[in-house]
Amino acid sequence: MIARPLLAIALAATPLISLSEDILGHGEFRYRMVPHWGEAALAKLSIGNGHAMAVDGAGRIIFLTDDAKNNVIILSPGGELLESWTARMPGAHGLTLTVEQGQELLFITSTALHEVRKLTLKGEERLHVPWPEASKLYTKADEYKPSKVLLSDRGEFIVFDGYGKDYVHHFDASGKLLKSWGGNLGEGENQLAHFGPHGGAVDRRNPAKPVMLVCMSDKQEVKRFTLDGQFIDKFAMPGGNPRDAVIWNEFLFIPHLGDQWPKDKNAPGFISVLNANNQVISNIGGTAPEFGADGSLKPMQATRPSAFIHPHGMAVDALGNIYVAQFASKSAPVLKLERVR
């Protein structure tokens, strides 16, 4: 994410809960923070800000930072440092794990370099996708600040320009631009307001009807589109700031950078868990979900003192444990929460 004034200044005053004892969340999605997870490993590295997480096929934890000396840090589930390398990408922001012909690869976006790269888990480049000049929607590369890659079909992929002009660009497997939509294109809900398409996912919980989830962070809502960019519907996340979407089994996890953002940029944030009907059933580090008589979700907020300092991205392992990348949080840029059963 792009740094904003006043954010880092207030972080030192943000209190944390007693991490080893407090149970976070509700119902079947309750968690306990693992104290000091990864701290010793990260103390050896310069890391800048935490941005995104992934879990590879071997169960290793991949942590993306915007420090070009250590863009990719790979940790064991126990928090030990396994390896780190640079993608030579200041402003690294979005991380997406994909598998091609049995090989795991990483899509990484950079808001500073205005590009997307696809790399092996050792940092070897497989594809470089510069700004979409062919779209005719930009006058220069600096206007394009991609935030996240989503995986479509047949090796095709979708890039959100979440910090630039809010367009969504669809590329074929070779990186050729196929289509652009969002931003000021189309009418009504087919447009995406600024700062809009920050993160999201392709929701394949119904394999017959895959849906694109677009987290409209500052709009406190998640929009649903067909994979070719046609608006379907949306659901509100009042009091939140949905930054990304992670599908795990039939559930959807959404990290909120802050609660009441952007009105209150000092608010610490929380993580929502939604069921197959996209209804919030747990707020990890946040207030219990409540609904009005009409079924609408009431405003949510982080519990105080807070478990988080601006959770920006996250991943879930096979056991349901959560790994969180936090922005502008020097004391705790990465966290692990174990699921309580």
CA 8 to chain centre: 19
Beta bridge partners of 180: 169
Mean of the pLDDT values across residues 38-45? 94
Helices vs. strands in the chain: H and E counts, helices first: 2, 25
Which sign, positive or negative, has the C-alpha torsion 110, 190, 269, 251?
A: negative
pLDDT, tens digit (0-9, with 9 covering 90-100), for 245-262: 999 999 999 999 999 877
Counting residues of the chain whose pLDDT is more than 70, the rounded percentage is 94
Query: If DSSP codes are grouped into helix, strand and coil, which group holds residue 203?
Result: strand
Mean of the pLDDT values across residues 68-96? 97
Q: Which pLDDT band, with edges at 50, 70 and 90, does 21 fall under?
A: low
pLDDT, tens digit (0-9, with 9 covering 90-100), for 164-201: 999 999 999 999 999 999 999 999 999 999 888 999 99
Query: If DSSP codes are grouped into helix, strand and coil, which group holds residue 219?
Result: helix
User: For 35, phi and psi rounded to 5 degrees?
Assistant: -60, 135
Q: Which pLDDT band, with edges at 50, 70 and 90, does 12 fall under?
A: very low
Q: Is 47 left (phi over 0), alpha (psi -120 to 50) or beta?
A: alpha
Look at residues 308, 317, 234 and name the one whose alpha carbon lies nearest to residue 272.
308
Above 70 in pLDDT, residue 240?
A: yes
Tell me, what's the pLDDT at 9?
Answer: 28
Above 50 in pLDDT, residue 206?
A: yes
Structural domains for the chain:
22-340 (2.120.10.30)
C-alpha dist (Å) from residue 53 to 18, 108, 281, 323, 333 = 24, 11, 23, 7, 11
Question: Tokens 């968690």 correspond to what residue?
Answer: 31
Q: Which pLDDT band, with edges at 50, 70 and 90, does 331 fall under?
A: confident
Tell me, what's the pLDDT at 5?
Answer: 32
Q: Which two tokens stand for residue 259?
A: 């609660």
Beta bridge partners of 238: none
State the DSSP code for 40. H
Above 70 in pLDDT, residue 11?
A: no
Tell me, what's the pLDDT at 235?
Answer: 98
Distance CA(98)–CA(104), nearest Å, equals 6
Distance CA(272)–CA(265), nearest Å, equals 19
pLDDT, tens digit (0-9, with 9 covering 90-100), for 100-127: 999 999 999 999 999 999 999 999 999 9
Contact 97, 91 (CB under 8 A): no
Contact 194, 207 (CB under 8 A): no
Answer yes or no: pTM beyond 0.85: yes
Report the DSSP pairing between strands 197-203 and 177-182.
Answer: unpaired
Contact 268, 310 (CB under 8 A): yes
Q: What is the overall mean pLDDT for the chain?
A: 93
Above 90 in pLDDT, residue 329?
A: no
Distance CA(129)–CA(132), nearest Å, equals 8
Q: Which two tokens stand for residue 90?
A: 């200041």
Above 50 in pLDDT, residue 39?
A: yes
pLDDT, tens digit (0-9, with 9 covering 90-100), for 249-295: 999 999 999 998 778 888 999 999 999 999 999 999 999 999 999 99
Above 90 in pLDDT, residue 15?
A: no
Q: Which two tokens stand for residue 325?
A: 């990348």
